[in-house]
Amino acid sequence: MTVHIREMIVDDIPAVFHLGERLFTAEEVQNLHRTWDEYEVLTLFSTEREHCLVAEDEEETVVGFALGTTIEKRKSSWTYGYLLWLGVDPENQREGLAQRLFRQFKQRMAAAGARILMVDTQASNEEALEFFRKQGFDSQEKHVFLSLNIDDERRDLEDREAHRVGRQVGGRPRNGKR
Ligand SMILES: CC(C)(COP(=O)(O)OP(=O)(O)OC[C@H]1O[C@@H](n2cnc3c(N)ncnc32)[C@H](O)[C@@H]1OP(=O)(O)O)[C@@H](O)C(=O)NCCC(=O)NCCS
C-alpha cells in the first residue's frame, strides 16, 4: 500500500477528528480523550496549517495525522515546536507511518526556526513512549496531571442564573412597560 504524507486541507478535518476519536478513547488514554474534540482540530488547522500533516492512502483515506504548534517565548529568541497530537489508524500501525509523519513535522519545525521539539503523553501510553524514544526524545521528565471535579460549583452557578432570570422575567410587566 502506498501512503503519502501531505499538509492537511479543510476536507480532512472530519476524517482527522473521527480517527482521533477512535484512537483517544476514555478507556485507553483518558486525558487525551478529554481534550480531543472538533474545535481542537479546527483551531490548529486554522492557526497552524503548515504544522498539521496527514498520511493518506491510495484510496484517499486519511490513515494518520500529526498536529502541532510553535511556541515563541517573548523576550527570548527560542522557538519551540510542540507536537500535540499524533495518531495512526490501528490497521496501519507498525508500518512506519508515524515515523514518516514525525520526520516531516520535524523538518517543518526546523524550517520555522524551532530549536527544541516537545511532546507529552500519558505515562501509561507505553506504545507512544516507545515511539518517541525511538525518534530520539531522551530527556523524559515526569509531569503530573491532576483533575478536580467542580460540577457542584457549576450547578450552583446555573441555579443562581436561572433564579436571576426567573426574577427578571417574573418582575417585568406584561406590556413591557414599567
Ligand atoms: C504511537 C503511534 C502514533 C505509533 O504509530 P505507528 O505508525 O504504529 O509507529 P511506527 O510504525 O512509525 O513506529 C516506529 C517505531 O516506534 C516504536 N513503536 C511504535 N509503536 C509501538 C508499539 N505499539 N509498541 C512498541 N514500540 C512501538 C517501534 O520502535 C517502531 O519501530 P519498529 O516497528 O521498527 O519496531 C500509534 O501507536 C498510535 O496512533 N497510538 C494511539 C494514539 C497515541 O497514543 N498517540 C500519541 C500521543 S498524542
- Per-residue pLDDT of 61-114, as tens digits, reads 999 999 999 998 887 888 999 999 999 999 999 999 999 999 999 999 999 999
Q: Residue ranges per domain, the chain?
A: 4-145
Distance from Cα 99 to the centre of ligand 1, integer Å: 8
- Per-residue pLDDT of 37-51, as tens digits, reads 999 999 999 999 999
Pocket test for ligand 1, best of 62, 93, 100, 132 (most atoms within 8 A of CB): 93
* DSSP one-letter code for 27: T
Class of the CATH domain delimited by 4-145 = alpha beta
Predicted model pTM: 0.87
* Residue with CA closest to ligand 1 atom 16: 131
CB of 133 within 8 A of CB of 144? no
